[in-house]
Amino acid sequence: TDGITSNGTINVTGISNSPSSSPWEYSTDGGTTWTPGSGTSFTLPSDGTYAADQIQVRQSNPAFTSDSITKFGNVVLDNSAPDAPVILNVSAADVVTGTAEKNSVVTVKFADNTTEIVTVSSTGTWSVTHLGIVNGSTITATATDTAGNVSPEASKVVDTSAPATPTGYVDNVAPEEGTFATGTSTNDTTPGLIIPTPAAGETPKLYVDGTEVPATYDPVTGTLTPTTPLTEGQHDLSYTLTDSNGFEGIPSAPLSLTVDTQAPTTPATAPTGYVDNVAPEEGTFASGTS
């Protein structure tokens, strides 16, 4: 075994406890000091690592001139429960990720009373996939260390819903400035997408036609504005929210707009006349007539 345990009791075999037998003793410091034993066991004094041969037992044998000493292998006594695991994120793909004491075993329990068990990596991270996680349900998790100590329980309410739909956008380029709704046109190549105020620790990211683009968020105006101008034509703008642990949620519903910065083209030739369809003088007339 690995010698790691939460049970500090050392069972002693091969000794005699009869009234005529010599007393037995044990040492936890490699034989430097000895403590009288009784019965068939003793308890290690404290948590920690006891190296091989550090724990010893002896009983004087009247038939021999020296003590008979039994030496034990490496023992690590650990009675300290690990910290509660951290449930970092539950993705829309039903993947739960988190952190916990490295090499411990995390048990994740879901609202349907099923569990997933995973061993934590040497870097302290873990993840499990559980299909059908219900939005709004509660997930719990505990960690069990190599000594068998169980941590306090951690919990997280599942939130895989998309953020609120953008309410509009801000056009800051004359002649028509102001706030406009989805489906409209703008001559502003960097329109500010209006989004609800993110929660503490959340960072919004802007997506144009499904691709993340550099953007700045202004908490005063509540706008998320691309730093690179949009090209001419129709675009769908959406956003995501990333929490303080770096996990990004799913995108919002998009807002659609059309960027149009081009003035109408001038006709190649001038008009040749006009048509009058009202009596008494109907027909085609030249420029400058009544």
The answer to whether residue 254 scores a pLDDT higher than 50 is yes
Q: Are strands 75-77 and 4-5 parallel, antiparallel or unpaired?
A: parallel
Please report where in the chains the tokens 């040497």 appear, as a residue: 122
Nearest-CA neighbor of 26 among 46, 48, 7, 41?
41
State pLDDT tens for residues 112-130.
Answer: 999 999 999 999 999 999 9
pLDDT of residue 248: 85
User: What is d(CA 286, CA 155) in angstroms, rounded to the nearest whole number?
Assistant: 83
**86-157 fold:** Immunoglobulin-like (2.60.40)
Please report where in the chains the tokens 């519903």 appear, as a residue: 253
Quote the pTM value: 0.60
For 4-77, CATH number out of 2.60.40, 3.30.160, 2.40.30, 3.40.50 equals 2.60.40
DSSP codes joined into one string, 116-127? EEEEPPTTSEEE
How many other C-beta atoms can be found within 10 angstroms of the C-beta atom of residue 290? 5
- Please give the average per-residue pLDDT across 257-286, as a whole number: 79
Where are the domain boundaries for CATH 2.60.40.10 in the chain? Answer: 86-157
State pLDDT tens for residues 61-82.
Answer: 655 445 678 899 998 888 889 9
For the chain, the distance separating the N- and C-terminal CA atoms, rounded to the nearest angstrom, is 110
- For residues 140 and 108, the answer to whether their CB atoms sit within 8 Å is yes
Nearest-CA neighbor of 103 among 149, 139, 140?
149
How many other C-beta atoms can be found within 10 angstroms of the C-beta atom of residue 157? 11
Reading the block at residue 283, the tokens are 């027909």
**168-259 fold:** Immunoglobulin-like (2.60.40)
